[in-house]
Structure 1
Amino acid sequence: MPDTRIPGPPGLPLIGSMLDLRRDALQAYRDAFREHGDVVRFTAGPPGLRATFWMVYSPEAAQQVLAGESANFRKESAFYEEIRQSFGNGLLTSQDEDYQRQRRLIQPLFTRRRVDTYAEAIAVEAEALVERWAAVPDGVVEAAGEMSGFALRAVARILFGTDVEEAIATVRDNFPILGAFVRTRGFSPLRLPRQWPLPAHKEALAAEQALYAVCDQIIARRGDAETEDLLGLLATARDEDGGQLDATELREQVLVFLLAGHETTATSLTFALHLLGLHPKEQERAREEVDRVLAGGRRPTAEDYNALPYTTQVLKEAMRLFPAAPAIGRRSVAETVIGGVTVPAGSDVLVSPYVTHRHPAHWEDPERFDPDRFTPEREAQRHRYAWFPFGGGPRACIGQHFSMLESVLGLAALLREFEIEAVDTEVELGQGITLETRSPVRIRLTRRG
């Protein structure tokens, strides 16, 4: 029986909180915070298959798990194992010496100076998106799908260079299948062996093989040839001992970059457009800034990033309300105390940007859209982990600047060309590998003169 002294929803007698979590996990997290405070224990699943996990909601607890005691919290949950099984042991899921070695090899490719060289590819894809949107007969587009396509094409162009068209169709068709498979298994109390010939297993295996094949073909064709796209830089990267990534490791890093590099950016852009479509005054303020910086209709460049502070604030506020990673999981190695509650060794512990970003002790009127929360002065006054859409600590996302650069330049290119109105004022959300939209996010576009 659960220890009733530990705060948490009681759930149903036989299955705990399983139905609430399956129906709407994000709402279940918020309800538990509101009713039980900053540290909550959930139980879910039938006897014999019951899972217990801990949600921690305060910025202080997030900092403890991700940074202060990061060595005690490892990526060993069932969810990470499912990602590892499907997408490989890349930077997102690797640990210990594997992770340190990969990070040493890859970090130089994600310095601010190197990432700024990717701005041209982002601008090219943004221009193509503008042209396509200008041709939409009724001016209504579904933002989530459109932003997913834009972000995928941008990251694929940066990865594969001239081979982008070969890869894009395979990735577009198979990533959703494999992502849905990982999500279902990651949240299921019962995971049947992958080798069993069930329809869902066969479909996921076919998607996995297609993704592996297109990456392997491009990698093999490159051989030792040096190219300036990210794949070429990865292939020729060396650590201080002369070590490099082999073909399998290259493929695993490519798949992780495709996964993390397009879904997170797509989410940020989707909700930035949605929120601006609901708030015309903030939209006009952002557009005035864009018109001033990109005067004469020129293509945005990396040098424009720092000249677009309000556009950046819009995106940060969208990422506060709709973080691409609504929950981040770890598993404790040793017993520890979080927020005055003892968490046993071997516990699954989740921090939740989705809830912490709405914590009333750190955010006034937290549901209100207000980009001015992210002026430098106000950011400096907040706890470091009141806003952490890219995680934190030694495992913070290596692609933070890349995601922000792509989002700011992409949004600027769209605001310069279109006025935006939200068609769907409410959006149904869900939790998958990243934050999911489970209803349309339509916006109406009016081409500016």
Structure 2
Amino acid sequence: MATMATTAQTVPELTGMPLLGSLLDLKNDSLGTFLKARRDLGDVVRITAGPPGMRGTIHCVFSAEGAQQVLATQAANFRKDNNFYEELRVSFGNGLLTSQDDDYLRQRRLVQPLFTRRSVDTYATAIAAEADRLTGTWRAEGRETADVVHEMGRLALRAVARILFGTDVDAAVGIVERCFPVLAGYVTKRGYAPRNIPREWPTPGNRKAAAAHEELYAVCDRVIADRRAAGAGDGERDLLTLLMGAGGEEGSGVEGFDATELREQVLVFMLAGHETTATSLAFALHLLGLHPEVQQRVHEELDEVLKGRTPGAGDLDALPYLGRVLKEAMRLFPAAPAIGRRAVEATEIDGYLIPAGADVIVAPWVTHRHPRYWDDPERFDPDRFTPEAEAARPRYAWFPFGGGPRACIGQHFSMLESVIALAMILQSYELEAIDTEVPLGSAITLQALGPARCRLKSRTR
């Protein structure tokens, strides 16, 4: 358990406005505010926001060593007890992302066998089919440009829906596209607000969120009910079928998921499984469109290894340079730019006192740009991720999937989907960035607030 050192220093505070603290800075540019806090005050910084009597405080930890302490070595002392996770639970359910203690351990035990490398690799064909569908549409329409933010969002959503629901993709995609942004914005606004009005009050925002919530739950319940009624066919391998059959075996000591729990797992997988991967794909393509010399190296590797064929799970390790491009894109544009926890007991991090009950944030957005670990940190350089370079850095200098006992269970799935999708798109097209800058914001995940358009030039496969 965490301990408090009597010599620990008081955490320095970022100067804000007299009445509102840093409220407007966080609201207008939270990512920039975190970068400024580290640059001006160091690796542990206190930020206060809100008017007197309603003021909230967060303790930001920016070093790799501090992130490892919060997420891994002292993970039991830093729990998902903060307001943001509570809002996430209410909107998306008590699934694997939000559950804790015995609930989490049981869910993880049930779900873990479905996310081993061997199990995940069976989804490579479905991922490739969706990527082929996308490039086929571009060719059929004679597309000359594409907004990779929009296109990768839809590709990732269709891929995770296909893996979850099998042939029932279209039953969910349209509803999720329409409802997820509404709920994500609602959760973010409430999760970081010092105080909230009750959800039951009939305000326009509450009513809109409630309608989106109801529609999402309804489509999940309908697909689950239809699948239960139909039964699983021979050889059926979609994730919903596997989740329905997880646990409950005689002598296992673990009960399977009931209908409510199934719905909550499905919603969490939809949320975590498409927005994060979409972000990685979109910014990888955007960066390649800005750096033709890097893109040329990717094309050469793809031509040499694949020779025009469809990539599979076995190619993940056979395309090391493409993997490095993806990791560098995830360094510069981590899908989870900030990760929150709440301290149970007072403890010391990097020589500073974190009090009991404090809201704590570790920020990949900042740590991934920390000059202690990264030379010229804003420069795009995939060779930062050669095996030798990775071995020379602290483990938590790069942590886009979190870490410790609550590390993302879908890490291999995300990497597999991203490499296969990028390989298929880049076999078919050269990209040239039109939009050199993409405005950003932070909600549940990193958000592109504008397009990332690229010119498309067809390649011969």
Given the two structures, how large is their TM-score scaled by the length of structure 1?
0.97
Corresponding position of 1:6: 11
**Runs of 5+ unmatched residues, structure 2:** 1-8
- Residue of structure 1 in register with 2:174 after alignment: 169
For residue 321 of structure 2, the aligned residue among 287, 306, 310 is: 310
| Matching residue within 213, 234, 243 for 2:243 | 234
Residue 347 (structure 2) pairs with residue 342 (structure 1): no
Shift in Å, 1:36:
0.2
One-letter amino acid matched to 2:244: A
2:273 alignment partner AA: G
SS at match of 2:401: coil
Alignment partner of 1:264 is 2:256: no
Which residue of structure 2 aligns with residue 406 of structure 1?
417
Report the AA paired with residue 284 of structure 2. Answer: A
1:397 aligned partner? 408
CA distance, structure 1, for counterparts of residue 90 and residue 183 of structure 2: 11
Q: CA deviation at 1:185?
A: 1.2
State the distance in 2 between where 1:442 and 1:190 align: 38
Of the candidates 368, 383, 395, which is equivalent to residue 394 of structure 2?
383
Tell whether the 8 Å contact from 2:175 to 2:216 is kept in structure 1 after alignment: yes
* Letter in structure 2 aligned against 1:294: L
1:288 and 2:300 are equivalent in the alignment:
yes
Query: What amino acid maps onto 1:140 in structure 2?
Result: T
SS at match of 1:42: strand
The equivalent of 2:310 in structure 1 is 299
Report the AA paired with residue 246 of structure 1. Answer: D
- Give distance in 1, aligned partners of 2:189 and 2:45: 23
3-state SS of paired residue (2:58)? strand
Mapped partners of 2:140, 2:359: distance in 1: 49
Q: Alignment partner for residue 24 of structure 1, among 29, 40, 45?
A: 29
TM-score computed with the length of structure 2 as normaliser: 0.95
Q: Which residue of 2 aligns with 1:77?
A: 82
Residue 418 of structure 1: aligned partner: 429
Q: Which residue of 2 aligns with 1:157?
A: 162
Paired position in structure 1 for 2:191: 186
Do 2:106 and 2:254's aligned partners in 1 also have CA atoms closer than 8 Å? no
> After superposition, what is the alpha-carbon deviation per residue over 1:68-89, rounded to whole angstroms, capped at 9, x for unaligned?
1000000011111111010000
Aligned residue in 1 for 2:258? 246
CA gap 1:366/1:89 in 2 versus in 1, 3 angstroms: same
Identity %: 62
- SS of 2:317's partner is helix
Q: How does 1:114-129 map to 2 (within 5 A)?
A: 114-129=119-134
CA RMSD of superposed structures (Å): 1.2
Q: Name the residue aligned to 2:208.
A: 203
Report the CA distance between 1:396 and its aligned residue: 0.1
Query: Deviation string for 1:49-92 (max 9, x for gaps)?
Result: 10001000000000000001000000011111111010000000
Distance 1:21 1:383 in 2: 28
Between the two proteins, the alignment pairs up a number of residues equal to: 445
Structure 1 residues 102 and 15: CA distance shift in structure 2, 3 A: same
SS of residue paired to 1:306: coil
1:324 equivalent to 2:335? Answer yes
Per the alignment, in what secondary structure is the counterpart of residue 385 of structure 1?
helix
User: How far off is 1:5 after superposition?
Assistant: 5.4
Q: Which moved more, 1:438-447 or 1:35-44?
A: 438-447
Q: Is the 8 A contact 2:435 2:453 kept in 1?
A: yes
Task: Give, in whole Å, the separation in 2 of the partners of 1:241 and 1:190.
Answer: 42
Q: Secondary structure at the match of 1:89?
A: coil
- Which residue is equivalent to 1:444? 455
